[in-house]
Structure formats: C-alpha cells, structure tokens
Amino acid sequence: MGTVAAGRPRASGSRYELWAWLFMRVSGVALVLLAFGHLVLMHVVYGVEQIDYDLVASRLTGPAGIAWRVYDLLLLLLALLHALNGLRVILGEHVRSARWRRVSLWLVVVAGAVFLALGAAVLFAFTPTLS
Amino acid sequence: MIRGQHGRLAWALHRISGIGVAVFLLVHIADTALLLAGPAWYDRFVTFYRAPAIRVLEALLAGAVLFHGLNGLRLVVMDLWPLQTRAHGRLLWVVAALFVIVFAPAAFLILRPLFQGEG
C-alpha cells in the first residue's frame, strides 16, 4: 500500500490499521447523521432549558422509546469507538516512550470498556420512575 | 503529505475539535448515567447545562462537532475520489462556507437566552 499518484496517502501498515482506517470513515459518515440529529433534537426540538429527568424518561418509554434507545446505542457505540481510536492514533504519534505509549493505549482500552458499560447500562436497564 | 497552509490548519483543527468532542462525550456518558441514580441526581446535574457560561461552551461544542463532521466528510471525499490539488483547496472552502452557514444560526439558537438577558 504505497502512496497513490493523486490525492492523499492511503492507510498503510498492519491489517489492524487498515480496518481502523476504514472504520473511521464508515463510522464518521454515520456519525454525521447520528450526532447532528442528536444535536438538532436536543437544541432545536427541545432546547437545554427543557431537558430534565421527566423529558428523558418519556422519550425513552414505550415503543418509540425502544427506537430511541436503539438510536442512542448506535450513537454511543460509534462515537465512543471513533473517539477512542482517534485518541489512540494521537497518543501513538505524540507519546515518545514505548512504555508510556503502551500504558496510554491500555488507559484508552479501559476507558472505552468502562464508558461503554456505563452508557449501555442506561440504555438497557433504565426504567423511569414517573412522577 | 498535506499540501498548503490551509490544509495544515484544517488538520490541526480536526485534531483539536476531535479531542474536545471526545472529552465531552465521556462527561456526557457519565451525566446520562445519573438517570440510573434517580430524578434528583439527574436534574441536579443536567440543569447545569442551562447556565450562561456553560451555554458558551455548548456553542463551542456544536462548532467542534460541526467542523469535525464537515471536514471529516471532506477527507472521505478525498479518499474516495483522488482529486487534483486545486480541487482539494476548493473543497476546503466548501467546508468553511458550510461551517459558517450552519454555525451562525446554531450558535444563535444556543446562546439566545444570553441575548435576551437571563431572567
């Protein structure tokens, strides 16, 4: 995988890096729709002055609530993996020492697991206490 | 590598906006998890997002998401259809124009309570 004649250099290196490169593009395009949609919903349809427990509870209840949970789960998964892979690349370039690079990589993996579990716990287990 | 100063600036902004959005994502996952702790906990934290100073950060966040998304689409276009350097430059201006067109009303919407005076 060298450099193509025109355009930007292509991803090169290991098989893993090739998949990571592809994932960043595919998830990135999906996130433009998902994240922009989320921002429009929260800031245009609702507005932060309206967002509270009751509003979120009603949004995540009933058949439409299932659909929103699927939407949010997709957003959570793609955004988190996209963000952490981005951080991994940046850390890989800027952390000089091999040992600290390994430590920072593990921190990224652990943070990913913890925050994925935290976010998924809400979307799978949240049962609103309606007032 | 990356040609020209505008390309380098876009590259730097892509990283900075990416890091900013990533940090907020972690905060946002944590505050959303407060739903599991009940209404009192969730509302105590989430009403924080209404504070005037925080709204400025929210406008910045919206700008970071918007730029990162638009510039990311530009990178995808460049990867899928290798273009001439001149076309690369034009694509960057398209990103800048779209950013301004969308960000101006978005920032106004988020910051509106500040203009009206916080009552």
Using CB atoms, pick whichever of B1, B22, B58 lies closest to residue A87: B22
Q: At residue B14, what are phi and psi to the nearest 5 degrees?
A: -65, -40
CA distance A32 to chain B (A): 6
Using left for φ > 0, alpha for ψ between -120 and 50, and beta otherwise, residue A85 falls in alpha
**What pTM value is reported for the model?**
0.89
User: 10 Å Cβ neighbour count for A5?
Assistant: 6
Its ipTM equals: 0.89
- State pLDDT tens for residues A28-61: 999 999 999 999 999 999 989 999 999 999 999 9
What is the three-class DSSP state of B118? coil
Identify all chain B residues contacting A10, using CB atoms and an 8 Å cutoff. 79
- Contact between A130 and A56 (Cβ < 8 Å): no
Residue to mutate among B1, B14, B25, with most A CBs inside 10 A, is: B25
Is the Cβ pair B30, A44 closer than 8 Å?
A: no
Q: Does A47 or A74 have the greater pLDDT score?
A: A74
What is the chain A residue with the closest CA to B54? A48
Token pair 């400025």 is found at B56
